[in-house]
Amino acid sequence: MSLTIAENLGKHTVAVFDADLPLVNASRNGDASAFEELVKKYDAKLYRVAQGMIHNHEDAEEVVQTAFLKAYLNLHRFQGNAKFSTWLIRIAMNESFMKLRKQRSNREQSLDAQIRFGAEASNHDQIDLTHWAGNPESLYGATELRQILESCLQRLQPKLRVVFFLRDIEGHSITETSGILNLTATAVKTRLSRARLLLREELTRYFK
């Protein structure tokens, strides 16, 4: 039965169906084709996650390759405390953060030169949040608007960017996002609210 223990809530244990477990177990037993199936299933998703964080094609590709390699080498450490997909995305996120740290010396110098959110907003230029489109995914779909949103996302702190991307772009639930980032639901909600507010402030400039 393909079940993995998701979490313990007091004295109650919640079990979640994980369709990937047969392939994971087969991979552990040396079936290379089983792991290839997992790669095919999650390759595009991991790339979207990495690209959403790093915004560099080559670096995102490298993150995906490294994430799959580390996952394969550490399959014996996967204990089923979360879905395999959650565990895999967490590895990709960690690799993305490592890439960002390596880029920090150059990228943050560039970001520091840009206008910080709200720093130069004058009293007569108040932000009207009601005029910003409420559906980030619809914004992300159109090419021009996607480029605008990507530019704004790059200005967010990585810890805010990743929460927004996982929740509002990739569509993960609060619980799933919490599991991927190893954060409490409260922390996810707090960071998500902050990210949405900062993005709305910046995006409002484009849509006035």
Are 86 and 161 in the same domain? no
**Is residue 15 domain-shared with residue 86, that is, in the same domain?**
yes
* Type of residue at 38: L
Length of the chain in terms of residues written: 208
Instruction: Grade residue 141 by pLDDT with cuts at 50, 70 and 90.
Output: low
Determine the Cα–Cα distance for residues 47 and 68; give it in Å rounded to an integer: 11
Same domain, 6 and 93: yes
If asked whether residues 1 and 99 sit together in one domain, one would say yes
Co-location of 86 and 140 in the same domain: no
Distinct helix (H) and strand (E) counts, the chain: 9, 2
Write out the two tokens for 107: 């990228």
Boundary of a domain, candidates 50, 74, 106: 106
Question: Are the CB atoms for 83 and 6 separated by under 8 Å?
Answer: yes
Q: Using one digit for the tens of pLDDT, what is the confidence trace for 82-93?
A: 899 999 999 999
How is residue 108 written in tokens? 């943050």
Q: Using 50, 70 and 90 to split pLDDT, how confident is the model at 135?
A: low
- Domain count across the chain: 2
**Residue 114 maps to a domain:** no
* 54-106 per-position pLDDT tens digit: 888 999 999 999 999 999 999 999 988 789 999 999 999 989 988 888 776 55
Range of the domain at 149: 125-208
Is there a domain that residue 112 lies in? no
Q: For residue 118, is it within any domain? A: no
| Average pLDDT taken over every residue of the chain | 77
Domain-ending residue, one of 106, 133, 165: 106
Is the pLDDT confidence value at 112 over 60? no
Q: Burial-class residue 58 by CB neighbours within 10 Å (0-12, 13-18, 19+).
A: exposed
What amino acid is encoded at 54 in this protein? I
